[in-house]
Amino acid sequence: QVQLVESGGGSAQPGGSLKLSCQLSGSMYTGSTSSCMAWFRQAPGKEREEVAALNREGGVHYADFVKGRVTISQNNAKTTTFLQMNRLEPEDTAVYYCAAYPVEVRYFSPGVFACREFRAWGQGTQVTVSS
């Protein structure tokens, strides 16, 4: 059974930083890590949107609205995925979720990929940015 547990959320002032962590336990396939890990967020009244993704080969991509401000990374064991968020803006206020085990990872060109239909989700961690 796969379990994802996020932590690190909280309150921050505009311009501040937070580092979110996502602890992955269990495996969907024996001996196999997730081919892709991602962070999503959902603000009140808005749809969930992808923030960043990291594939098994170490490739990353970021949503345009966070480019240059966030970094997704993993520990060597690939059991914890991080989201370092800098220069936070009030618009970053949302519940942040991590996701694992996509149904598909599609590669469009070198360094360009998309992970689709994640099968495992965490419970979310609240991030609030306000002065």
Residue ranges of E strands in the chain: 3-7, 10-12, 18-25, 36-42, 49-55, 60-62, 70-74, 80-85, 94-109, 112-121, 125-129
Length of the chain: 131
In the predicted model, is pLDDT for residue 108 greater than 70? yes
- What is the per-residue pLDDT across 59-96, written as a single tens digit (0 to 9) for each? 999 999 999 999 999 999 999 999 999 999 999 999 99
- 104, 123 contact by CB (below 8 A): no
Q: In the chain, what percentage of residues exceed pLDDT 90?
A: 85
- 114, 106 contact by CB (below 8 A): yes
- For the chain, give the mean pLDDT: 94
- 93, 128 contact by CB (below 8 A): yes
- 23, 30 contact by CB (below 8 A): no
Kindly indicate the confidence band of residue 53, based on its pLDDT and cuts at 50, 70 and 90: very high
The b/e string for 96-118 (b: 16+ C-beta within 10 A; e otherwise) is bbbbbbbeebeeeeeeebbbeeb
Q: What is the pLDDT of residue 30?
A: 66
Q: What is the pLDDT of residue 31?
A: 63
State mean pLDDT over 111-130.
95
